[in-house]
Structure 1
Amino acid sequence: MSDQVCYTFEAAIEMAIQMEEEGFRNYLNSIRILKNKGAKEILRDSALDELNHKQELEKALLLGQMGNGDEMIRPVPTMNLGYILPKKELNPDSDGREALAYAIHLEKGAIDFYKKMSEGCAGAPNAALFQRLLADESRHLQSLEDLYEQHFMTEN
């Protein structure tokens, strides 16, 4: 028995808005406790991405559709660092590396959410909406992973 469900457009958008709002709040709460300027900057950029997503979703709710259909809807490949980096809460003394790992885990959670929603709507019109959101989140994750690789995965 499958637990996959496809929601109406409005319900799907409302759930996505809630998901983006929770992500934003997680980033904001972490920024408030951090002392490290670099760590705050990493999370601030990610929080702004969440706000932009939320605003797009709210516009879609008003207009009754998401985008013009020309957007890329395929997820981009990622390194899956979320599987190897430890998942832990941030504390005031967390550094940029820990903040980046935290952001990677938050984006991975969003990807898992949108993937589940997309699979639940396979064959339905809302599947494209969730595929687009999944693709957007995968691009965010790829950017974070690239940043992590650039700064913390030095070659020997």
Structure 2
Amino acid sequence: MSQNKGKVCYTYEAALEKAVQMENDGFRNYLKAMRKLKDKQARMILKDAALDELEHKHALERALVEGTIEGEHSMDRPVSTMNLDYVLHQKELSPDADARQALAYAIHLEKNAIDFYQKMMQGCEGAPMAKLFEKLHNDETRHLQELEDMYERHFMAEN
């Protein structure tokens, strides 16, 4: 058995297919949660997040056809986040979940995407694919920061 058991790198096409699947899974998670919520504001938060995932998926699918990721300039560097996922508890959303709970749920799903791309980057370290995963990772950090900023604006008390 190889010592690099956890390090796996994919071809460009296989990597994009894996990323498409991850984005689709995120979209489906948002859609499933959104459909059972009663709170209109909570549904809107998840709807926006679901649409972001759909945009990611479509960009990745376009990359499969065109051979490049559009909007690469926006993904050159990671964005600092507050790591609210460590403070907020992820749980399955009940139909009575409010906007705060929906936002915490979305923060956790985005953090899962960041972790996914981080692992893919590490698995492809030194290979051309690492750059693609780095860009996708950086884009996910930007989305996480947007969600955390919204959480901070609406739900964190100012001292």
Same fold (TM over 0.5): yes
TM score, norm. by length of structure 1: 0.96
Cα RMSD of the aligned pairs, angstroms, is 1.1
What TM-score comes out, normalization by structure 2 length? Answer: 0.94
From 78, 84, 89, the counterpart of 1:75:
78
Measure, in 2, the Cα distance between the counterparts of 1:23 and 1:8: 22
Aligned partners of 2:9 and 2:123 also within 8 Å: yes
Q: Is the 8 A contact 1:73 1:128 kept in 2?
A: no
The match for 1:115 is 118
Query: Within 5 A, what are the aligned runs for 1:30-69?
Result: 30-67=33-70, 69=72
Structure 1 runs of 4+ with >4 Å offset: none
In structure 2, stretches of 5+ residues that fail to align are none
**What is the CA-CA distance between 1:67 and the residue it aligns to?**
3.0
Unaligned 5+ residue runs, structure 1? Answer: none
- Whether 2:88 is the aligned partner of 1:85: answer yes
Match of 1:146 among 143, 146, 149: 149
Percent of aligned positions that are identical: 62
Q: Distance in 1 between matches of 2:132 and 2:119?
A: 12
Count of residue pairs brought into register by the alignment: 156
**Pick aligned residue for 1:23 from 23, 26, 32:** 26
